[in-house]
Amino acid sequence: MLRLFRIDAPRKRDVIQLDIAHAGGSYKVALKRVAGARRFTLRVRSATRDVVLTMPVRSSLISAREFVERHAAWIGARLNRLPLPVPFESGAVVPLRGVNHVIHHRPDLRGNVWIETGCAVSLEAENALCVACDTPHLSRRVADYLRREARRDLENAVRRHTAAIGAEARRVTVRDTVSRWGSCSASGALSFSWRLILAPSYVLDYLAAHEVAHLVHLNHSPKFWALTKKLAPETDRAEAWLKAHGASLHRFGSVEAE
Ligand SMILES: [Zn+2]
């Protein structure tokens, strides 16, 4: 889990892509040369539904292509096993604070986005996320709404946790991150994934507590964990939830990886 809470921003590397044809389809494999890598390592990332080949700095592109082509069937099987993306469209079921909501397009009504509870419009969801707009704007409206809700919940949680320990966050940013759910810079700026609004509220609250605790301890020492658990007693439960379900949050809407 440590990787998800990396304190430093990830370094951007130059990425070369290979196009691989296999079994009538094709997919892209991003090549990453990594200092210290001793062999080729393939990874299929569920969040972005893409493939990454990590390789030693001195390996040739030809050997990289050969390696990928040898493993084309394995990659194809992995990609096929990934859960299907859930775009924000009418009828899609999307969790909000851990509770399923069906997106209900209401072009006949005025307004923006609102929640109707207990209306049982779908077998999978008792609640509806109603959106009044023209069809082309539906996905954007839902995405904007979820980001706004995420920002509000995260700002409230950060305010509560910083007040509890007398610390101060310089600012709270909400983004679409793939490799981590939250981060804290040395200057005290906190950043979070908007997708936390999809998870049960105790998960979002834990992430806020985790990053607020970094305002005091810029590490993952025992003192850091003690403070996090004091702020968020459900730390272990939230970590377990993220481990089991975190990756699935990337299925919803479009991924604007940063
Ligand atoms: Zn951390």
What is the mean predicted confidence (pLDDT) over 110-132? 85
Q: What is the Cα–Cα distance from 240 to 1, expressed in whole angstroms? A: 10
For residues 223 and 217, the answer to whether their CB atoms sit within 8 Å is: yes
pLDDT band at 220 (very low <50, low <70, confident <90, very high): very high
For residues 34 and 55, the answer to whether their CB atoms sit within 8 Å is: yes
pLDDT tens-place string over residues 21-52: 877 778 889 999 999 999 999 999 877 778 99
Query: How far does residue 83's CA lie from ligand 1's centre (Å)?
Result: 28
Furthest-apart CA atoms within the chain: distance in Å: 61
Phi, psi for 99 (deg, rounded to 5):
-115, 130
Q: Which two tokens stand for residue 115?
A: 């929640």
Domains and CATH numbers, the chain: 7-81 (no CATH), 93-141 (no CATH), 146-251 (3.30.2010.10)
Query: How far does residue 132's CA lie from ligand 1's centre (Å)?
Result: 39
Query: How far does residue 148's CA lie from ligand 1's centre (Å)?
Result: 24
Q: Which two tokens stand for residue 55?
A: 């390789």
Q: Which two tokens stand for residue 151?
A: 């920002």
pLDDT at res. 121: 67
Q: What is the Cα–Cα distance from 208 to 110, expressed in whole angstroms? A: 35
Query: How far does residue 202's CA lie from ligand 1's centre (Å)?
Result: 17
Is the pTM here over 0.95, yes or no? no
Q: Which two tokens stand for residue 216?
A: 């005091």
DSSP state of 136: G
Query: How far does residue 238's CA lie from ligand 1's centre (Å)?
Result: 14
What is the mean predicted confidence (pLDDT) over 120-149? 89
